[in-house]
Amino acid sequence: MLTAASKLEATTANDAEQELTDGFHLIIDALKLNGLNTIYGVPGIPITDFGRMAQAEGIRVLSFRHEQNAGYAASIAGFLTKKPGVCLTVSAPGFLNGLTALAHATTNCFPMILISGSSEREIVDLQQGDYEEMDQLAVAKPLCKAAFRVLHAQDIGIGVARAIRAAVSGRPGGVYLDLPAKLFGQVMNADAGKKSLVKVIDAAPAQIPAPDSVKRALDVLKSGKKPLIILGKGAAYAQADDEIRTLIEKSGIPFLPMSMAKGLLPDTHPQCAGAARSTVLKDSDVVMLIGARLNWLLSHGKGKTWGDAPKKFIQIDIEPKEMDSNVEIVAPVVGDIGSCVSALVQGMGSNWQTPPADWIKTVQTKRDDNVAKMAPRLMNNNSPMDYHGALGVLRTIIKERPDAILVNEGANTLDLARGIIDMYQPRKRIDVGTWGIMGIGMGYSIAAAIETGKPVLAVEGDSAFGFSGMEVETICRYKLPVCVVIFNNDGIYRGTDVNPSGGPDVAPTVFVKSARYDKMMEAFGGVGVNATTPDELKRAVNAAMDSGKPTLINAVIDPAAGSESGRIGNLNPQSVLKKK
Ligand SMILES: CC(C)(COP(=O)(O)OP(=O)(O)OC[C@H]1O[C@@H](n2cnc3c(N)ncnc32)[C@H](O)[C@@H]1OP(=O)(O)O)[C@@H](O)C(=O)NCCC(=O)NCCSC=O
């Protein structure tokens, strides 16, 4: 009979004979096997060692100062690459910090996987007060596209595969992967471990549209006397740039790019109707949406913005449930955008009739008028600067460096930069997206630099920057070619509001006067510049883009410049105050 001691010896001798692996390495191997070679995260219990081991095994592990920024980085990495961006966080509070970004990824249809360490199931389920105890899977579920928990090392391969497929197939989105602390240390035979890994084949299969739906769409498009094509960020995500360009040019139809679709075709393209937005929305009779949703950004497809003339909508989307979400879609085309657009181009044949000349003329005239009206305002050299003077400079810089990535957030800084700065290449403008979220700035900048290797220009309102400002240390630590320009007008919307009560506190929209954000960058070894005129701004941005050194430019904007973010209508509380 074996004693307990001899049993242990036998086990140990047996283990010594076979090669072992553990949860840590199986997760790393599963990610690498599927080409996920970058992790954005914040170290801590229980994932610190995992981060170290992942780095040792050749994964690029980028540590942030706050999980939300790491999450935004992962989300935009997903948008830029069509592979899930991976964010790694600790349990409960770290997980919750990352969750905003996961929900943001889901809302914006970006593929992302949030991997969080979690505490022991047995203790969590009995609510016995474990370290950072939380039922994270339950919390994540309503905020993402799919959520999985892996309890056993032999299931890691399947767990990671399911997460990848869920993130990128169909309409992409955020996926939560819960990894309890105990899993990391689970040991298993290395051979069996290797065999348990799954390389995901064809993670986002093409979804070919039904031929009938393509024909129906073309018939409706043909019937339009004033047709319009709207490109959304889904079209940019699809990386079907050549097909989309062919469709637009062959059709001769004016196109309106939504914010992150700018540059799919250059904003200076003769068919671009970006500068005639109101006219084309109001007066068009047939509208084809490509990877764009009829949400608040398009006034839900109805009301004053869309005028009185009856409209017919054609919609191309990978998600069938998107159809008729706000108004009737007379020609739904369901499939992936690349396949749908190719099918449409094919169906157009060789003798497609371009739209009536008077419609083209109307759009062009409105566009040229708006551009001409704007032009002189962009040339001023005022000090302190106004938005137009400062943005005029940045517009020229992007024209000269069209492959730079533009990150943009703020209120006025966002609304005005979107219109003023023309984009020339696809996926070069990344911004606040569907939620109009503030705080994406530094996370997006870091991921854009890492994923594309291109220089990044982040144009930030002073308020928006505050949400992720500490990440300038991350930018310096990794020596990233990021130039941050802060439009500093001392407050939210502007810096001149007063406390209506006469009390000692400043108004809720007002920040410290004449703050020097540039000093923050200097604190970490980057370049800081205080720019008070458009000429100074131009010199500083060009120097940053030439050198590739982390740079922060405090662009001093007149505190009285800027207006309430009227573009989001009655959501603005001050407009209510004024009405009283
Ligand atoms: C809902 C919107 C898509 C629509 O805004 P609009 O003001 O209706 O349209 P915009 O495209 O911004 O264009 C405004 C006007 O400028 C014109 N326009 C556009 N581009 C140009 C250029 N290059 N030159 C001249 N004029 C231009 C355009 O035709 C419109 O004029 P007309 O055609 O003459 O009308 C946008 O506001 C948006 O994306 N908002 C999101 C804001 C957000 O997320 N905020 C975060 C919250 S801020 C935190 O507080």
> What residue spans define the domains of the chain?
20-196, 211-364, 379-497+506-556
Q: Ligand 1 pocket check: which of 396, 567, 575 to mutate, most ligand atoms within 8 Å of Cβ?
A: 567
> Do the domains 211-364 and 20-196 match in fold?
yes
Using H for helix, E for strand and C for coil, what is the string for 352-390? CCCCCHHHHHHHHHHHHHHHHHHHHHHHCCCCCECHHHH
- 229: which 2 tokens? 């094509």
Instruction: Look up the CATH architecture of domain 211-364.
Output: 3-Layer(aba) Sandwich (3.40)
Sign of the dihedral through C-alpha 284, 287, 292, 297: positive
Report the distance separating Cα 440 and Cα 72, nearest Å: 6
Report the distance separating Cα 416 and Cα 277, nearest Å: 14
User: If you take atom 4 of ligand 1, which residue's CA is the nearest one?
Assistant: 297
User: Which regions in the chain score pLDDT beneath 70?
Assistant: 1-16, 565-580
For residue 565 and ligand 1, the question of a CB distance below 6 A is answered with yes
Report which ligand 1 atom has the smallest distance to the Cα of 273.
Answer: 29
Superfamily of 20-196 according to CATH: Thiamin diphosphate (ThDP)-binding fold, Pyr/PP domains (3.40.50.970)
User: If you take atom 1 of ligand 1, which residue's CA is the nearest one?
Assistant: 297
Report the distance separating Cα 133 and Cα 116, nearest Å: 13
Q: 428, 233 in Cβ contact below 8 A?
A: no
CB atoms within 10 A of CB 170: 16
Of 511, 552, 505, nearest to 528 (Cα)?
Answer: 552
Q: What is the predicted ipTM? A: 0.97
Distance 431 CA to ligand 1 centre (A): 14
pLDDT value of residue 16? 58
Distance 487 CA to ligand 1 centre (A): 18
Distance 418 CA to ligand 1 centre (A): 7
For residue 256 and ligand 1, the question of a CB distance below 6 A is answered with no
Report which ligand 1 atom has the smallest distance to the Cα of 432.
Answer: 44
For residue 238 and ligand 1, the question of a CB distance below 6 A is answered with no
**Phi, psi (degrees; rounded to nearest 5) at 141:** -45, -50
Q: 292, 317 in Cβ contact below 8 A?
A: no
For residue 276 and ligand 1, the question of a CB distance below 6 A is answered with yes
Q: Ligand 1 pocket check: which of 258, 277, 391 to mutate, most ligand atoms within 8 Å of Cβ?
A: 277
For residue 418 and ligand 1, the question of a CB distance below 6 A is answered with yes
Q: How far is CA 103 from CA 29, 87, 238, 438, in A?
A: 27, 13, 21, 14
Amino acid 400 reads E
Q: Which CATH class is domain 379-497+506-556?
A: alpha beta
Distance 524 CA to ligand 1 centre (A): 36
CA angle 433, 412, 403 (to 5 degrees): 55
For residue 411 and ligand 1, the question of a CB distance below 6 A is answered with yes
User: If you take atom 18 of ligand 1, which residue's CA is the nearest one?
Assistant: 275
Report the distance separating Cα 527 and Cα 316, nearest Å: 45
Distance 269 CA to ligand 1 centre (A): 18
Distance 289 CA to ligand 1 centre (A): 18
For residue 274 and ligand 1, the question of a CB distance below 6 A is answered with yes
Report which ligand 1 atom has the smallest distance to the Cα of 296.
Answer: 1
Amino acid 26 reads L
Report the distance separating Cα 222 and Cα 348, nearest Å: 9
For residue 370 and ligand 1, the question of a CB distance below 6 A is answered with yes
Distance 416 CA to ligand 1 centre (A): 7
For residue 374 and ligand 1, the question of a CB distance below 6 A is answered with yes
pLDDT value of residue 8? 39
For residue 259 and ligand 1, the question of a CB distance below 6 A is answered with yes
User: If you take atom 46 of ligand 1, which residue's CA is the nearest one?
Assistant: 436
For residue 414 and ligand 1, the question of a CB distance below 6 A is answered with yes
Tell me, rounded to whole angstroms, the distance of Cα 335 from its chain centroid. 22
- pTM score: 0.95
User: If you take atom 14 of ligand 1, which residue's CA is the nearest one?
Assistant: 419
Sheet holding 174-180, edge to edge: 60-63, 38-41, 85-89, 112-118, 174-180, 146-149
- 16: which 2 tokens? 């010594």
For residue 371 and ligand 1, the question of a CB distance below 6 A is answered with yes
Report the distance separating Cα 562 and Cα 553, nearest Å: 19
